[in-house]
Structure 1
Amino acid sequence: MSDLKGLTEKEVEESRKTNGSNALTQIPPEPLWKKIMEGFREPMIMILLVALAVETVMFFMGEADWYEPVGIVIAIILSNGVSSISENKQQKKAAALKEAELAKEKTKVLRDGGMKEIHVSDVVTGDIVYLQAGDKIPADGIILDGSIKVDQAALNGETEEATKEPRKNGESFDTKDLLNKYYAYRGTVVCGGEAHMYVQVVGDQTLFGQLALEVQEESRQTPLQVKLAKLAKQISQFGYVGACGIMIAIILQNVLTGHMPENWHAWMFLIVAAVSTSVTIIVCAVPEGLPSLTSILSSFQSIRMIKDNVLVHKINGLETAGSLSILFSDKTGTITEGKLTVTEMATGDVKQFKKLSEVGDVLKKDIVTGIGINNSATISDNAVIGGNSTDRALMSFLLDAKQTEFADKENVIKFNSFDSAKKYSSVTIGGNGQAVTYIKGAPEKILERCDKYLDENGTEKELKERGYLDTYMNEQAERSMRLLAVAKRNGDSDEGALTLVCVISIRDNVRMEAKDAIREVQRAGIQVVMVTGDRKETAVAIAKEAGLLVDPDDIALTSAEMAEKSDEEMKALLPHLRVVSRALPTDKSRLVRLAQELDEVVGMTGDGVNDSPALKKADVGFAMGSGTEVAKEAGDITILDDNFASIKKAILYGRTMFKSIRKFLIFQLTVNVAAVLTCFIGPLLGENTILTVTQLLMINLAMDTLAAIAFGSEPALEEYMKDRPIPRKESIITKNMMTEILIGALYITGICLSILFVPAVRNLFGDVDVTYLKSALFATFMMAITFNGFNARTEHINPFEHIGRNKNFLLVMGAIFLMQFVFVTFGGEVLSVERLSVHSWMICLILAFMVIPIDVARKLIIRKH
């Protein structure tokens, strides 16, 4: 090491000019004004802007009240501004945290023959970096001397540490293979050992840098955005056609009934009145509350979800989670617990034990000494610290068994840490004039030297029959167990014949709750594919236990096998794919791309920098709470407890959100269609104005804004997980929804017009004038669409099912009832209404309530057929 001098300051500057800085390029987030401007390109907002322009012109012409354009402005601000500001705040918080973390990153380099500590961004190509346990590697490079153990979980997501050492005889290696022994990567952490590393690439050219850059690419439209764009087009067409139809109907009615305008002033008045009504119809045809509904839903659901360890970063991520059809999931920490655990011990005669308390005191003492003192990890304040993942697992096992006092610890003569050549570690304990050496390590190195074993009582016996033990270990290996042998011998040397103490099985166990969650997600029609850096045998064993590999048609592929197949071949296999092992970062991005080309709605989980590009490209990225900041930045949703069960909850909340949007649309479009039909048919029957412009806007504002709150509070029902995923290109309005909208709208239109034009209904109100009847019509319209809200909120026969779990809905519907009573009773000339008698209110109430039994009958007929 003494001959390493490092770069001079002049060489540092030259290297920086030639090869660039080690700082990572940061694409700045879009400013708030740009987010808001992009929001105006949303289809619904564009329609509202057109309506706002027309209403503003009408206001200056004296044909519209000031609150009509103001109401549209408020709807635009609520729907566009709230979501933009919320997302901007979240991004600022994330950026501040990231800057604070980066400022702390330092590294040790050799410069001008001496050791210096510098900021990571000041490292240049050609630098010699000194690495010790706990250091984060600042750039990519080759090991010059020494040997280190490196945790590469940030890049490959796996708990197993990689050994990095100098090349022998110029041996070649692949820098893309993270498991190569000679090349170290930026962002990985040194767990043990010391080494000097020669920096080969810096900044964006490192693997870490390339992945971080890829994260910042644009992502495609969400399924809901696709569906809403299509719906907006359909609604605008319906509104424009309806508006033109009403304008023509008003003019035709005047012409056909002989009420021809006498002069051009009268014609202008008639045309302006017709245009005013038509514009109002366009405004009524557009559900302004829909864009704000997604914001309201996200805020309501986000508050609920944080209790379930799910944090939503990007508003669109939640609704997309509800549309998932395929989910690529990490193994480590998501499907498994993310930490190695001792699962079983076996003696030389293959007696198996799950707990230390199940073995005799003599054997227990040898096990505790053999794995507790012969261990690089320690216990402090009831926590395991230091050591590698295997040693930490063994010490945690002793901690759980309350075996933390080691009687022989004071008598340790020597401790030899893990030797990669011998594949074991050893400790020699001396006491009472006798020395005993305990060794633990690879069974293939230890068992061949064992001629005796200890039974469960600690009695020493000859190890004659090895077949049963070999069979047992093979079976454990197939279950993805990592096997460790513990042995002992008298004397202070680790050489010579040994006595087997036990064989220990260690594994990153499958989470119990993950099994149930995977089953539920699969039952929901979502394909789950486990993507892991593990070897194929381990991955397959875990997948079988987790319930991913169950059918003969299910496929498990390695990264190499995937690479041999063309995109078309992979697309053909994708529906049957369940496991990808030895996965590279590029494999994840490729899987996302292929699934999206098949029009799947794709979810991806991840915690490392390696996962970030795929998290970004997926329709919804689930970052893990314990993962890197780069991964969290790339993801739409963070799973705080890294648990697959929480992913299932996010999917359920996403489906609830989508269901709520559909419920709102049924409710809102029934209002819109009923309003358009009433105002269209009325003039044809002889009455120019059925619902005034002001009345229509009152209906619109009350129903849009308040209904968004009502439907935004719908509970997340487990039954939604029984539904199939909704295809990306499927219309947001289904045939069943359209039937419900049309039947509800036709009934509401029919009863409202019958109040004016059907003598049998009109006479129920007594001898009253037209204004009184129009007041009754307005009251009936408001109450009928309110009652229809109960129909819209559930597909079940009982419209009041689970109503107690949505108190906001009851409050909102109660508020709308109260509002319409106030409108009719105190609206006077402003709303063109008269007060109604109690008798009239009862008639209006009965006529309006009938919308519920009519929809119950519709549901019964659909269920029967």
Structure 2
Amino acid sequence: MNNQKQITWHAQSAKDVLHSFEVLQTGLSENQVRDRLKEFGKNQLPQTSPKSTVAIFLAQFGSPLIAILVVAAFISVGFKEWLDAGVISFAVLINAVLGFVEEYKADRSLRKLQSFLPDKAKVRRGGAVLNIDSINIVPGDIIILGTGDKITADGRIISSSFLQVNEAALTGESMSVKKDVVPVDIGASIADQTSMVFAGTVVVNGRAEVITVESGERTQIGQISRLVADVEDEKTPLQQQLAVFALWLGGAVLIISSIVFVAGLLRGFAFFDMFKISIAISVSAIPEGLIVATTVILAIGMQRILKKKALVRRLVAAETLGSVSVICMDKTGTLTTGEMSVTEIRFTNGELLESNQRSEIRQILGVTSAALVDENGENPVFSGSPTEIALAKEYWPDREKIGIEKYAELSELPFDPAFKFKAGVYKQNGSTVMFVVGAPDILLEKSDLSDQQRKKMQSVFEEMTERGLRVLLIAKKDLNGQQTEITYDGITDISVVGFVGLQDPLRSNARHTVETAGEAGLKPVMITGDHVITATLVAREVGLLIDESGIMTGLELDKMSDADLIAHIDKINVFARVLPSHKLRIVRAWQDSGASVAMVGDGVNDAPAMKAADIGVALGSGTEVTKEIADMVLLDNNFQTIVEAIREDRTIFDNIRKMIVYLLSDSFSEVVLIFGAIILSLPIPILPAQILWINLITDGFPSVALTFEPPEKGVMKDPPRNKKAPLLDAEMKVLIFIIGLFTDALLFGIYFYLLGQDLAIHHIRTFIFVALGINSLIYIFAVRKFRSSIFRSNPFENLYLIAGVGIGFVFLFIPLVVPYFRNLFEFEALSVTEWLVLLTLALFQLVLIEIVKEIFNLKRNRQLGEYQIKVL
């Protein structure tokens, strides 16, 4: 065999291909098969060694924030702070377990693709026809194909009869492709290589013999599998931001704790006391509730998204949708239903026929049908080419009424791509009739019409075609028993009965969904393997395309450098006639231009691009391969679901930010308060154990309750979140600073005043402890809404928050009321006046925060107005 690479088998004659592989029509010999198995290996997709269970689990501890928490847990154990050590350890364990489950499931996607090929194949070897395991097919094997067969390797057709193949899983094109032995142009794309068949596609009509030219990972689907394997999983925006935040927080805590420790020693405080205070500040400042609460937020968000009929398969990926700015989608099965159907039937004069006027045409469709129907009660199962299935579904409801069984077939001409029609002769009640179904431009020339009549019918056909319909002409001819045998060339003088229009219809809400996505600042992009005309018609119908400058073909894409593509990518709304590698390149070009990309698909051809995208979205009706690879699955196949999922996802990120603002504000107050006392050589205003108890109150139920906050009004008016933006923007940092500064200024002033009143230090520390606790449990109601005032929102909208704050107050009062804990924490009873002062301070702080929020909201609304004008 000639050992050549990248041979364009589709452009060579069948005879030359057989010669190149040194094989006769009788097939390979046993010796040839054995030698080629050694040379080329098994006919299977690339195998990768799965990660070990232990390796996946240990990898979960690589997060910087997790590392900080682990160190904090050990320090807490060393000082016998068992409660804090337990909380931190639990947070670490939960995060590790959930991360392990996510990655373990993700690792299965490639192995799912590896099992995509069928188990058996019919081949000719040594003159005999054998049914062998498909894994043993080698280049040079002659494979015998028939209707319904799944193709096991890439092959060059050497003989065929009415062969049609559905290549939607590979090219994304829903209509079956006519195949024959005729060589095609050397530069033809995969979708145009009609002399070839490809692994993973399905024969829907006819039969053929093909010689295997590529097997295993060298097939087209094998190259897709390799692309999937080669695409590295990148961290999501939230993972990246949490990592940066953890490093920043860890460094800040280390510096602040060290400064407090050194300052205390310089001011004469005992070494051990300062060490305990520094550790308490460190543990308190690190929000160990952040990981657990973030996980809860993501989990709750996933449940909300699930109620919208979208299944998020990866927990951390639940936040990625909020930063999505570009949604790439395949036309077939995404904007369209993915199924051919009869959309209209017209009479010869162009009159649209209603359902009760279609009896004659349905009768002809039923008599000539090549579809197989498995009658299963009220839910029959249709098989065959997409066109034949669509025609069968049209006549099937009237099958008994139109009397199909009365017609006996005398002869038949199956659909032939060369002649573009099918015909048959049938006998019924002593008369003989011929029915013909096929391309109007061919059959009109064979009709009994005058030139004027033919011209009128031609205009009917052209009008239907311009609306994106595939049109079939239905005709008949009474033979009066004079003729039973027919030929393709011998058919003349047929009478036109009508026209049938078929279409892979748009989903009913496709245009509305595209418009909604645009209003949310998202850019929908169609990427399809279909022809330019089809893609253009669909794009215009859904509102994606204004003029033809916004469309690009795969061949045009091949001529562009990566730099040129990135420079022009934002001007292209539709990519047509593309290959799987094109889809991957388009996604990466968008990402290189700074966009966060969601890739929607349903076929194997979408897999590499889906895996490379920031989030891969599969249709529920898609292949198992795409669903395994996807981050999210649309259970109802509804593009609208993506927009709803984005709404929920933006809420997820909002709630994470609210929680961080809440947790850090309290920590900031404690640090500044203690540091100020040390600098002024005053007694420590709050002890380490008291700090940790406050930490338990704020990091516990109230912060977790924030995770249940519903979407705020206006969340979909914001532009997509920049995935490179910091976790905390300027407004969040200002809120943290104001909350902390205000609390510290007031409390420090009160603390200084109380010290001058000759009150016991335990009494003063009790006051400071309660002040910190009440403040944190009150201002959480201001933090829960970024875009609106607490005074204009329903306080009972989140009952979990009410309950969480209630539990927080219970924990606040336990060390004040229960004698054992009161003695343990060295607390004293406060007067009614002191309680009123504490409540007044908390409410005053709440009002101040609302004023700051209102200023920010006025600025945000002005910016949103400018953004919307820019979008429009």
TM-score in terms of structure 2 length: 0.88
Instruction: Tell me the residue number matched to 1:185.
Output: 198
Tell whether 2:16 aligns with 1:22: no
1 CA distance for matches of 2:341 and 2:399?
A: 16
Instruction: Tell me the residue number matched to 2:626.
Output: 631
Tell me how far 1:768 sits from its aligned partner: 5.4
1 CA distance for matches of 2:317 and 2:26?
A: 51
Query: For the structure 1 residues 718 and 182, does the alpha-carbon distance in structure 2 shift closer, same or farther, using more than 3 Å as the test?
Result: farther
Tell whether 2:301 aligns with 1:332: no
Tell me how far 1:539 sits from its aligned partner: 0.5
Tell me how far 1:444 sits from its aligned partner: 0.6
2 CA distance for matches of 1:533 and 1:103?
A: 22
Query: For the structure 1 residues 828 and 838, does the alpha-carbon distance in structure 2 shift closer, same or farther, using more than 3 Å as the test?
Result: same
Instruction: Tell me the residue number matched to 1:448.
Output: 445
2 CA distance for matches of 1:368 and 1:340?
A: 17
Tell whether 2:482 aligns with 1:480: no
Name the SS for the 1:337 alignment partner: coil
Report matched runs for 1:335-374 at 5 Å.
335-353=335-353, 355-357=354-356, 359=357, 364-374=358-368
Tell me how far 1:467 sits from its aligned partner: 5.1
CA contact (8 A) 1:321 1:650 kept: yes
Report matched runs for 1:731-810 at 5 Å.
731-758=726-753, 769-799=760-790, 801=793, 804-810=796-802
2 CA distance for matches of 1:762 and 1:798?
A: 39
- Report the AA paired with residue 538 of structure 1: T
Segment of structure 1 superposing worse, 541-550 or 231-240: 231-240
Name the SS for the 1:243 alignment partner: helix
Query: Out of 180, 183, 186, which is 1:165 matched to?
Result: 180
Tell me how far 1:557 sits from its aligned partner: 0.7
Query: For the structure 1 residues 431 and 410, does the alpha-carbon distance in structure 2 shift closer, same or farther, using more than 3 Å as the test?
Result: closer
CA offsets, 1:612-645, max 9 Å, x none? Answer: 1111111111122232333233322222333212
Instruction: Tell me the residue number matched to 1:811.
Output: 803
Tell whether 2:738 aligns with 1:724: no
Instruction: Tell me the residue number matched to 1:530.
Output: 526
Name the SS for the 1:690 alignment partner: coil
Tell me how far 1:802 sits from its aligned partner: 5.5
Query: Out of 188, 210, 222, which is 2:236 matched to?
Result: 222
Query: Out of 110, 117, 134, which is 1:120 matched to?
Result: 134
Instruction: Tell me the residue number matched to 1:691.
Output: 686
CA contact (8 A) 1:292 1:708 kept: no
- Report the AA paired with residue 576 of structure 1: K
Tell me how far 1:587 sits from its aligned partner: 0.9
Query: For the structure 1 residues 701 and 16, does the alpha-carbon distance in structure 2 shift closer, same or farther, using more than 3 Å as the test?
Result: farther
Instruction: Tell me the residue number matched to 1:85.
Output: 100
2 CA distance for matches of 1:7 and 1:142?
A: 15
Tell whether 2:567 aligns with 1:546: no
Instruction: Tell me the residue number matched to 1:263.
Output: none
Unaligned runs of 5+ in 1: 255-259, 261-266, 453-461
Tell me how far 1:17 sits from its aligned partner: 0.6
CA contact (8 A) 1:571 1:595 kept: yes
Tell whether 2:576 aligns with 1:581: yes
Tell whether 2:439 aligns with 1:423: no
Query: Out of 398, 403, 414, which is 1:407 matched to?
Result: 403
- Report the AA paired with residue 437 of structure 1: M
Tell me how far 1:508 sits from its aligned partner: 1.2
1 CA distance for matches of 2:116 and 2:461?
A: 46
Query: For the structure 1 residues 404 and 331, does the alpha-carbon distance in structure 2 shift closer, same or farther, using more than 3 Å as the test?
Result: farther
Unaligned runs of 5+ in 2: 1-17, 860-872
Query: Out of 17, 34, 38, which is 1:13 matched to?
Result: 34
Please report the RMSD computed on the Cα atoms of aligned residues, expressed in angstroms. Answer: 2.9
Instruction: Tell me the residue number matched to 1:390.
Output: 387
2 CA distance for matches of 1:708 and 1:33?
A: 32
1 CA distance for matches of 2:801 and 2:166?
A: 51
Query: For the structure 1 residues 123 and 315, does the alpha-carbon distance in structure 2 shift closer, same or farther, using more than 3 Å as the test?
Result: same
CA contact (8 A) 1:521 1:721 kept: no
Tell me how far 1:580 sits from its aligned partner: 0.2
Tell whether 2:634 aligns with 1:621: no
Query: Out of 217, 220, 225, which is 1:204 matched to?
Result: 217
Query: For the structure 1 residues 176 and 421, does the alpha-carbon distance in structure 2 shift closer, same or farther, using more than 3 Å as the test?
Result: closer
Q: Identity of paired residues, percent?
A: 29
Query: For the structure 1 residues 838 and 403, does the alpha-carbon distance in structure 2 shift closer, same or farther, using more than 3 Å as the test?
Result: farther
Tell me how far 1:542 sits from its aligned partner: 0.5
CA contact (8 A) 1:384 1:395 kept: no
Q: How many residues align?
A: 821
Name the SS for the 1:23 alignment partner: coil
- Report the AA paired with residue 788 of structure 1: Y
Query: For the structure 1 residues 344 and 762, does the alpha-carbon distance in structure 2 shift closer, same or farther, using more than 3 Å as the test?
Result: farther
2 CA distance for matches of 1:805 and 1:150?
A: 56
CA contact (8 A) 2:148 2:384 kept: no
1 CA distance for matches of 2:404 and 2:153?
A: 44
Tell me how far 1:533 sits from its aligned partner: 0.7
CA offsets, 1:58-106, max 9 Å, x none? Answer: x2xxx55344444332222223x1322322553587789778x669722
Query: Out of 593, 596, 615, which is 1:601 matched to?
Result: 596
Tell whether 2:477 aligns with 1:489: yes
CA contact (8 A) 2:121 2:152 kept: yes
Tell me how far 1:386 sits from its aligned partner: 1.9
2 CA distance for matches of 1:3 and 1:594?
A: 47
Tell me how far 1:472 sits from its aligned partner: 4.5
Instruction: Tell me the residue number matched to 1:673.
Output: 668
Query: Out of 494, 511, 516, which is 1:515 matched to?
Result: 511
CA contact (8 A) 2:43 2:216 kept: yes
Query: For the structure 1 residues 12 and 854, does the alpha-carbon distance in structure 2 shift closer, same or farther, using more than 3 Å as the test?
Result: same
Segment of structure 1 superposing worse, 422-431 or 204-213: 422-431
TM-score in terms of structure 1 length: 0.88
2 CA distance for matches of 1:700 and 1:554?
A: 59
Name the SS for the 1:302 alignment partner: helix
Name the SS for the 1:720 alignment partner: coil
Tell me how far 1:463 sits from its aligned partner: 7.6
Query: For the structure 1 residues 831 and 373, does the alpha-carbon distance in structure 2 shift closer, same or farther, using more than 3 Å as the test?
Result: farther
CA offsets, 1:211-263, max 9 Å, x none? Answer: 112212322222222222222233223323322332244345x3xxxxx4xxx
2 CA distance for matches of 1:844 and 1:762?
A: 19
